[in-house]
Amino acid sequence: MQRGKISFGKIQLNVNKTPAEPKKDEQEDAGGFKKMDKQQMIRQIEDVAEDLESQHLKEVMGISGFGRKAAKVFDINEQIAKARTAAPPAPEPQAAENEDEDEDVIGPLPPSAAVAETEQQQSAEGTKTKTPQAASTDKDDEDEDDADSDGDSDGEESLPRRIPYTHEVQMQHGSRAVLALAGDPSGARIVSGSIDYDMCFWDFAGMDSSMRSFRQLQPCENHPIRALQYSVTGDMILVISGNAQAKVLDRDGFEKLECCKGDQYISDMSRTKGHVAQLTSGCWHPFNREQFLTAALDGTLRIWQGFRVKEQLQVIKTRAQGGLRTSASACNYNRDATLIAAGCVDGSIQTWDTRKMFVNTTHCVRDAHQKGSEITSIVFSYMGQQLATRCNDETMKLWDLRNFKKPMHSWKDLYSRYDTTDCCFSPDDRMLVTGESLAKGQTEANLHFFSTQSFEQVQRIPVAGSHIIKTLWHPKLNQLFVSCGNGIIKCYYDEHRSIRGAKLCVVKTHRKRQPMEMVGVSQIITPHALPLFRQEKTRSSRKKMEKARMDPVKSKRPDLPITSGQGGRVASSGGTLSSYVIRNLGLSKRVDDDQDPREAILKFAKDAAENPYWIAPAYKQTQPKAIFSEKLPADEGAPSAKKTKTESDAT
């Protein structure tokens, strides 16, 4: 293939092609356009390159020119030919050496040599059919390739080794069933909630081998804790309890928000400001730290935004077949928050697209589970293409969102007693984990691991002699947390595959508090010592307190009220306004307000009768003489009850 030349520095035309010779008529014609030969083209291009700036620079520097350098031209074909000649010769295989090597080989030929030998025989014979030996070697090669690919992808045989259950640690929440369990995204803490209204906080960095929680509280008073979840940043905790109001707590358990309750007398649930019935489930937005979703028995799902609002952001209504109301028992977001899924009490699965209006469902499977049995858990895979549901009809199903009409597989005989029993995916989406409740006659509940590809049971771990309710496989710690019906939380971890978490606690020994030593101070009694060196006698605290009580300075006794009414303080006996005015009008004598007025007047009765000054002298001349009635004789014949009483009778 002929390649053109490459030039650098100037425009290079294809000069390999010889220009056509001009006709005589064109040469003779001086006017108009005409074709130029190679030399004329180069001269024209060089004249254009010399611009005005170069001419001015030449004049300033006093030189005639900068020199004339032609552009360097490279020929690609010539360079390739030189490279081929300079390359070292390839080593040619020698037949004699190959024959010697073949003779030295003892035993069956390796697959590559066998294949090469059969190919040589086939080429020599001119046939296209493979020998049985070659076919077997090809099959062995394929098997080895498959084995290598399985080894690279860590096939089904390695799934049990991926389960972290070589060691276990037990944490005691209480004595009642633990219905809720959640882990911090960073893996530093977990929280648990039980049916006895308690919520416990567990900090792995602060716990020792005794595995005790550092805080225990009752956020919703007399309501059981149904669900707990940390926000995406790990600084907020969503608390779903048995009442109609969800709460948001901070990392240390202090309340940040309480959702408002709706009006239960309004029939249209979209017109109320909140839920009007018991909450069933809730979850945070995958990447928005201020948005969360709640579901309740009033037939709605509500999206809440912010920590200061008094009303929900969106209301989603779940409908049964025929448009009737049904309640959602579980809800969840997918990983990119484009889909909301809800499992209803009528056994149906309904999903909505968050980028559209929440009027019609995106997916709706009416007969997903047995009708009338509530779906206790609905969870998306980490890749977002699969969906797992757990139901009280003793089944767990795996769904593919790309073909959502029928489940990929259904696992049966998984007895579930609690309506919060859940399931979870492994961090690599290869396994599905769930627990079972303790059936009648069974002594120990098991934790089941199923493969999401072959749908076979990978492992079964006996946990405790009680029901298994919640299961949490933390992706960062690679540890399993399982809550039971007897108030126990078990943590399973692997010594090599797991990091931090419970491994930080088991190595710390429980430190006992050192008893305080009381040292008695001996006292030397010196009765004849000088006052400067005399020690005070030890007295009991009661005597010291009584002595300090008598001291007005040490006891800080308030000022006593002044009974005289002087010194700017009103006495207790003269608290009226009139007495205050009289005392401050310059009267010398104090008015006793608590004195009987009749007694005060009778004090002057004798003096007024002996020395009349005000009333008797004024009416002395005009006042008539007082005439008093005479004493009547007593009726002797009259009964004593009707006789008039006299002074003698009174005495």
Note the pLDDT tens digit of each residue in 556-569: 888 776 665 555 55
Residue 93 has pLDDT above 70, yes or no: no
Closest CA to 330 of 292, 301, 303: 301
Note the pLDDT tens digit of each residue in 589-648: 555 556 778 888 888 888 877 887 777 777 777 777 777 666 656 556 666 666 666 655
Instruction: Say if residues 299 and 318 touch (Cβ distance below 8 Å).
Output: yes
| Alpha-carbon dihedral 438, 440, 444, 447, rounded to 10 degrees | -40
Q: How many angstroms separate the CA atoms of 432 and 412, rounded?
A: 14
Span 153-168, average pLDDT: 81
Question: Would you state the pLDDT for residue 647?
Answer: 58
DSSP helix, strand, coil percent of the chain (3-state; round to 5): 20, 25, 55
pLDDT range class, residue 467, cuts 50, 70, 90: very high
Residue 521 lies in a domain: no
Instruction: Say if residues 195 and 220 touch (Cβ distance below 8 Å).
Output: no
Note the pLDDT tens digit of each residue in 487-507: 999 999 999 889 888 888 888
The separation between CA 456 and the C-alpha centre of its own chain, rounded to angstroms, equals 33
Residue 136 lies in a domain: no
Whichever domain contains 265, its CATH number is 2.130.10.10
- Count how many domains the chain has: 1
Residue 60 lies in a domain: no
pLDDT range class, residue 26, cuts 50, 70, 90: very low
Note the pLDDT tens digit of each residue in 507-529: 877 666 666 666 666 677 777 88
Closest CA to 137 of 169, 167, 108: 108
Q: Round the average pLDDT of the chain to a whole number and report it.
A: 78
**Burial category of 465 from C-beta neighbours within 10 Å (exposed 0-12, middle 13-18, buried 19 and up):** middle
Q: How many angstroms separate the CA atoms of 186 and 477, rounded?
A: 8
Residue 442 lies in a domain: yes
Domain membership of residue 311 as a residue range: 161-507
Residue 429 lies in a domain: yes
Residue 593 lies in a domain: no
- pTM comes to 0.57
Question: Would you state the pLDDT for residue 593?
Answer: 59
> What are the strands of the beta sheet with 314-317, ordered from one edge?
279-284, 291-296, 300-305, 314-317
Residue 281 lies in a domain: yes
Contacts of 442 (CB under 8 A, 6+ apart): none
Note the pLDDT tens digit of each residue in 96-118: 444 444 444 444 444 444 445 54
